[in-house]
Amino acid sequence: MIEVNITKINPFSLGKVIALITGVIGLFFGLVGILFAGTQTMGSIGTTEIIAILSMILLAPLIYGILGFITGLIAATIFNASSGYIGGLEIEIEEKYD
């Protein structure tokens, strides 16, 4: 195994990864929210309900993704600032030969 010490993370790179992950989580929560909203209406679906359903599908992943991107930027910046003091992040990598 190879030991590697990560001392710097590109904030935009981490932001994109976390934005994708949290966006998918937001999509899941949006779909779950639709199920719960559907059980509350159980009958008539009007314009208000359709707008609520569409906003859960569209806005939940978007908001989660934006907040995830910001969180990734902040986390990478804090990591980069503190890695000189704490020594970075140690990981082990195993080479795989096919």
For residue 56 the two structure tokens come to 């859960």
How far is the C-alpha of 49 from the C-alpha of 33, rounded, in Å? 12
In this prediction, residue 23 carries a pLDDT of: 94
- Tokens 């359903």, residue? 53
In this prediction, residue 29 carries a pLDDT of: 86
Q: What would the pLDDT profile of 32-81 be if each residue is shown by its tens digit?
A: 877 776 666 556 667 777 777 777 788 889 999 999 999 999 999 999 99
Count how many residues are written for the chain.
Answer: 98
- Tokens 């003091």, residue? 85
Mean pLDDT of 7-24: 95
How far is the C-alpha of 98 from the C-alpha of 83, rounded, in Å? 35
The pTM of the full predicted model, rounded to 2 decimals, is 0.77
For residue 76 the two structure tokens come to 């990478």
DSSP type of residue 43: T
